[in-house]
Amino acid sequence: MRAPLLIAVVAIHKPSSKAPEWEQDAVASGVAHLLSLLLDEAGWGVFWRTGDPTRAKKVAKAHKLAKNEKLMGWLYVGGKPERSKPDKKDKLSLEKHLSVL
């Protein structure tokens, strides 16, 4: 009810000796963070929501999650109020911030 688009972020756990479950959760969270940055850059309002409901059995059932899937949270995506839109940003000059070793 708070945003016109709600994106559920789900980690899919697969048995792996190289990527333990916590790391698979971290990757899913990282993807959500990057997506929120991209949406913000495109002019959308976005925020991350999590909490007790993400672990509720009823919520998992509503999302039709498999036993190896875990809801990490939701990205609420919508417009930004006019008063919160910043002025156009200057392009970042990479030459000022990067160097070659």
89: pLDDT strictly greater than 70 = no
Domain assignment present for 99: no
Does residue 52 carry a pLDDT above 90? yes
Structural domain contains residue 25? yes
This prediction's pTM: 0.76
The DSSP code sequence of 18-72 is: SS-HHHHHHHHHHHHHHHHHHHHHTT-EEEEE-SGGGG-HHHHHHTT--TTEEEE
Total domains, the chain: 1
Computed over every residue of the chain, the mean pLDDT equals 90
The CATH number for 55's domain is 3.40.109.10
**Cα–Cα nearest to 71, from 83, 81, 61:** 61
Which long-range contacts does 12-19 make (Cβ < 8 Å, 24+ apart)? 12/66, 12/68, 12/69, 13/68, 13/69, 13/70, 14/68
| The pLDDT of residue 83 is above 90 | no
pLDDT over 60 (residue 1): no
Statement: residue 80 has pLDDT above 70: yes
Is pLDDT at 79 greater than 80 in this prediction?
yes
Asked whether residue 54 is assigned to any structural domain, the reply reads: yes
pLDDT at 35 over 80: yes
> What's the pLDDT band for 85 if we cut at 50, 70, 90?
low
Q: Which two tokens stand for residue 46?
A: 């976005």
